[in-house]
Amino acid sequence: MESYRELDPTNVRGVVFDIDDTVTRNGVLEADAYAAMHLLAGAGFELVAVTGRPLGWTDVIARLWPVRVAVGENGAGWTWVDDAGTHEGYYCDESERAGQATLLERIRLEVESAMPHVRTTHDHRHRRCDLAFDVGESVSLPRAEIDALVALIERLGARSSVSTVHAHAVPGPWDKAEGVARAVSEVLGLDLSSEIERWVFVGDSGNDAAAFERFPKSVGVANVREHLDRLPVHPSYITDGDRGRGFAELAAYLVGARG
């Protein structure tokens, strides 16, 4: 990983960013990071938020933050706002999502029975496409138990994805990189793969792995160092500051380079 100052800032069209521990600290959006989003949007960069948080949250984020689209549940769906109103998109169609919901309910019951101390997340009822368990938000589950939970989810037929706060059961083929590509195509009419070098991705942990792999201009905020042993692909660049401070450093660098 090189310093973010080594990233070629010329011709960058947009910034795709994770939320938890990338722009937040202890679950709260950092002032520097929110100001940085406005700085970027004001300078003409397209902003895309992508999170493991629920689609019920992206409905709010898309309305309140200066982003073009907010992708939720690690790529399962997205929300955007334009002159015609608020819209939602999904990675899978309605009939696929119905089948996935059945699988998730089975996983929820099996986990409840096999690991009764493991709880679904507080934001569970705002989710539409995935199922998430609290591993580090209001509890701190030991690593061995997280591994056991992941193994159980996978044995029951879903994929799993683990962030600093949640372990997700993922019943469909999406991930953050795939979800962002579909959302950018639907909302901005752009083929992300044909201009991937024009986009910067910023994240911090395990559920950002697919995006770190996909985006050549991938940046980890400094706290990504805590998760490198669980990341098959490391980001290309790293900020000096952690969390929202790192995001703000990167934003200032990109805006400064635009002149």
Closest distance of CB 113 from Mg ion, Å: 30
* Chain residue at closest Cβ approach to Mg ion: 20
Closest distance of CB 52 from Mg ion, Å: 7
For Mg ion, which residue of 15, 16, 18, 184 counts as binding (CB under 5 A)?
Answer: 18
- Closer Cβ to Mg ion, 191 or 226, answer by number: 226
Three-state DSSP class for 156?
A: coil
Radius of gyration of the chain (CA): 18
20 lines the binding site for Mg ion (CB under 5 A): yes
The number of residues that bind Mg ion (CB under 5 A) is 5
Residue 76 in contact with residue 128, Cβ under 8 Å? yes
Closest distance of CB 11 from Mg ion, Å: 27
User: Distance (Å, rounded) from C-alpha 1 to C-alpha 43?
Assistant: 27
**Pairing status of strand 28-29 against strand 24-25:** antiparallel
Closest distance of CB 18 from Mg ion, Å: 4
183-210 CB burial, b ≥16 within 10 A, e <16: bbeebbebebeeeeeebbbbbbbbbbbb
For Mg ion, which residue of 30, 59, 204, 249 counts as binding (CB under 5 A)?
Answer: 204
Residue span binding Mg ion (CB under 5 A) among the ranges 21-29, 34-42, 102-110, 173-181: 21-29
For Mg ion, which residue of 12, 14, 21, 182 counts as binding (CB under 5 A)?
Answer: 21
3-state helix, strand, coil in the chain (%, to 5): 45, 20, 30
Residues forming contacts to Mg ion in the complex (CB under 5 A) are: 18, 20-21, 204-205
